[in-house]
Chain A
Amino acid sequence: MPLIHIKDVVKTYDMGAELVHALSGVSLDIEENEYVAIMGPSGSGKSTLMNVIGCLDTPTSGLYEFTDQNVGDLDDNELAEIRNRKIGFVFQTFNLLPRSTALHNVELPLIYSGVTAQQRREKAEQALVSVGLGDRMTHKPNELSGGQRQRVAIARALVNDPSIILADEPTGNLDSKTGIEIMQLLVDLHEKGNTIILVTHEEDIAAHAHRIIRLFDGKIASDEVVAEPLIYAKAE
């Protein structure tokens, strides 16, 4: 069974006067340890697809099975639990709590899954070390650079050992040099066995992925395997 199984998913928004078809019949499977980029111009439905995959939203119709669970059957709390345990989010704007330390930011998903304080601290420290921020744990977001903030966010996404890491334009708010570092980090995570789904509209960011799915008008326009994914560290 694939990790993600999406079949004929439709998502419609009722905007009062008109119905907006954000997704009109999308089907795709994603296997474990894939590195997939979802691309498309704005309005193509890629954000909606990401929200559906991330269990932030449920499809209007169609089937979405995530780790063999039918997401359409789940209520709010069950969705929250899936997001908590199986999905790691990385946002374009980092979305860190501004007044909390890096460590507490990374601990947050563990707080909601009820892990003891002792374990929480250990796991969060581990995650921060793994993204190269072992010496920045007690810093607050405003004491960190953009790239460091995104690393904290990635550590937060990793801390619960999720089934997928869902990165929405992770380099959108970073300069190109820092962006490359973050992409490299994602490549490393992929090599360690993580499943990564990247949402972007930039070709050179998507070029890191092993498979690119292009959306247009709420439908899949193309779904291709990348012959040679870009790896900066090895290219240099």
Chain B
Amino acid sequence: MLRLHDFKEGIRIALTAIGANKMRSVLTTLGIVIGVVVVTLMATVIEGLGGALDKSISSLGTDVYYLSKWDWFGGEWWKARNRKDVTVEQAERLRDKFQLAEAVVPVASTWQRTMKYKNRSVKGNVNGTDPTYEITSGVVPEDGRFFNLYESNSGRPVCVIGYDVAKNLFEREDPIGKTIKISGYSYRVIGVFEKEGDFLGTSMFSKDTQAFIPLPNFLKIFGTNRSIDIHVKMWEGVDKESAKEEMIGAFREIRGVPPGEENDFGVNTQDFLKQVFDGVVSTIGIVGFLITSLSLLVGGVGIMNIMFVSVKERTKEIGTRKALGAKRRSILFQFLIEAATICMMGGLLGLAISWPLSLIIDEVLPSSMPLWVVGLSLSISIAVGLISGIVPAYTAAKMNPVDALRYE
């Protein structure tokens, strides 16, 4: 039972003792400081990644399947390399054959093409598709509109550009109606997509740096000799799993895959992002956990060591206190509180260091240090103090007053 006066005296003694050994106390808490910094930054990064994931999933569109020559995640690329291309004709056949989809959208892409307006230029992916892309993409143009069926079918030189493309090429000008050059060909800008943001620090999956043009026009300019992606979005209310099986069956038939052989195409979903995310998070988690536990262990041993020193140094004081009527319990709490206070200060120091660092992380990966992590770190610090203080405190508490008084 901890009585209030024991507690107050404990705090008082702890602060006096720490104040008398400032440098020693600060150095001792180094392990705790590192532990707290790692654990708080880890939580901040994981939270930031979670936010990025949500955004990226919404940018890919929900419940969309991406049929492709390639598997996005896992799979065996050397097998995929020998697969037949996915063609526009296959996409059209799937659209006719498969009735459970709201949209079956062919998307042909080419990487790192130059887009120019006046003397400014940027590089980004250029995609050829048709108006149904709006159904699967999950985002809408912020300004202007997407190209319509007529423009698409007739391969008009119009384009819808990503947020960053618009910002970099036009700065303050209104892009709508202006003509830009994509790989040297002129296109009229009819729409600008809303901003999506990056995922994991890359704009690879983001439409912000891309441009979209009608598919026939794309094939004319960039050639037909390429494998395209087919974006498939099911109707609301259909059973996802059986619809997916049916879609795969239909596409196998179109591609002429004999029964019993494995698919010669990748069926990708946004789940791959989740897998990337989970992989990244668990890696960060494992590494962070290892660093944190290691530094807390080292910190704890350091605290234990310094508490043994503190007990030894103050043997005579312990004897005096005992002679004046301090019970074992009072002495025990005195040193436990001292250890806990040192560790808590280490925790606060750690938070003082990781707070500005979390603001830097926020610049790269929008996030904020969760409040529960602050509470958790302080609790862990105090717990480390109590655990590593218990043995030295017990040593002090059970000292024989006669021996302690005689100690020089």
Contact = CB atoms under 8 A, between A and B. Distances in A.
Interface bracket on B: 20 to 34
A80 B326 contact: yes
A83 B324 contact: yes
B320 A56 contact: no
Contacts of B329: 77
Contact of A95 (B5, B20, B320): B320
A76 B327 contact: yes
Interface in B311-363: 316-317, 319-330
B402 A89 contact: no
B324 A108 contact: yes
A100 B323 CA distance: 17
A77 B327 contact: yes
B341 to A, nearest CB: 15
B16 interface: yes
B325 A80 contact: yes
A104 to B, nearest CB: 8
5 contacts: A80-B327, A81-B325, A83-B324, A91-B320, A99-B20
Given A95-B316, A97-B317, A114-B5, A109 B324 contact: yes
Contacts of A56: 322-323, 401-402, 405
Given A57-B402, A95-B316, A95-B405, A112 B16 contact: no
A201 to B, nearest CB: 16
Contacts of A99: 16, 19-20
B299 to A, nearest CB: 26
Interface of A: 51, 54, 56-57, 76-77, 80-81, 83-85, 89, 91, 95, 97, 99-100, 108-109, 111-114, 156, 160
Given A76-B327, A95-B319, A99-B20, 16 more contacts: A54-B323, A56-B401, A57-B400, A77-B327, A77-B329, A80-B327, A83-B323, A83-B325, A84-B325, A85-B325, A89-B323, A91-B320, A99-B16, A108-B321, A111-B5, A112-B5
Interface of B: 3, 5, 9, 16, 19-20, 316-317, 319-330, 400-402, 405
A3 B324 CA distance: 20
A100 B324 contact: no
A155 to B, nearest CB: 12
Given A112-B327, A112-B330, A114-B5, A80 B322 contact: yes
A81 B325 CA distance: 6
A99 B13 CA distance: 9
Nearest to B329: A77
A91 B320 CA distance: 9
**A-B pairs with lowest CB-CB distance, top 6:** A84-B325, A95-B320, A112-B325, A109-B324, A80-B327, A56-B401
Contacts of B9: 111
Given A95-B405, A99-B16, A113 B323 contact: no
B326 A112 contact: yes
A69 B83 CA distance: 98
A228 B320 CA distance: 34
